[in-house]
Amino acid sequence: MNKALYIIFFSLIVTNCSFKPVVKHHGVPFLEKKQVSLIVSKSNKNDIKKTLGSPSTTSKFDNDIWIYIERQQTQSKLKNFGRMKIFKNDVLVLEIDKYGILKKKDFYNKNDMENIKIVEATTEAGFKKSSFVYNFMSSMRQKINDPLGQRAKKRKAISQR
């Protein structure tokens, strides 16, 4: 009887386990394949939205810049305690002119992003206690806390007594 219970219990565990890794997907699926159909100086905003959907991020300078992201993560091996590992990280940057025509297309994959150098220099606070900015902000704080100058008048009256 015990052997039968062990066999049933073991078979339930084995049948519920999956040998395929769990993949978390974020962004536009198959971005690399879809971006091939976009042609510089021919595709317009409507073609882009039809092919890729709404952009992940947009910015507006001289031209519109639309950014599409695709990211896939899976759990790493047991020795890393199941932390998520990025195995696909693609970014498509599209620049669209004022007429709505695709002007420039840049595609970056995970390897391209690893080659980008990031500056690690930090900036320091631009003001010290003796600087103009510090003095100005201190006076503004004082005026906000006492807009009519009542505290200064009370201090002056108390010191004259």
Can you give the residue ranges of every domain in the chain? Answer: 17-119
The whole-number average pLDDT for the span 16-31 is: 76
**So what's the pLDDT on residue 134?**
73
Position 150 pLDDT exceeds 80 = no
- CA torsion angle for 32, 36, 39, 44 (degrees, to 10)? -60
**So what's the pLDDT on residue 94?**
92
Q: Provide the token pair at 150.
A: 């009542």
- Highest mean pLDDT among 50-59, 67-76, 145-154 belongs to 50-59
Position 72 pLDDT exceeds 90 = no
Question: Which ranges in the chain belong to alpha helices (H)?
Answer: 2-16, 31-34, 45-52, 110-114, 132-145, 150-160
87-127 pLDDT, tens digit each: 788 899 999 998 999 999 999 888 877 777 777 777 666 55
The whole-number average pLDDT for the span 32-48 is: 92
**b/e map of 41-62 (b: 16 or more CB within 10 Å)?**
eebeeebbeeebeebbeeeeee
Position 50 pLDDT exceeds 60 = yes
Q: Indicate the pLDDT class of residue 73, thresholds 50, 70 and 90.
A: confident
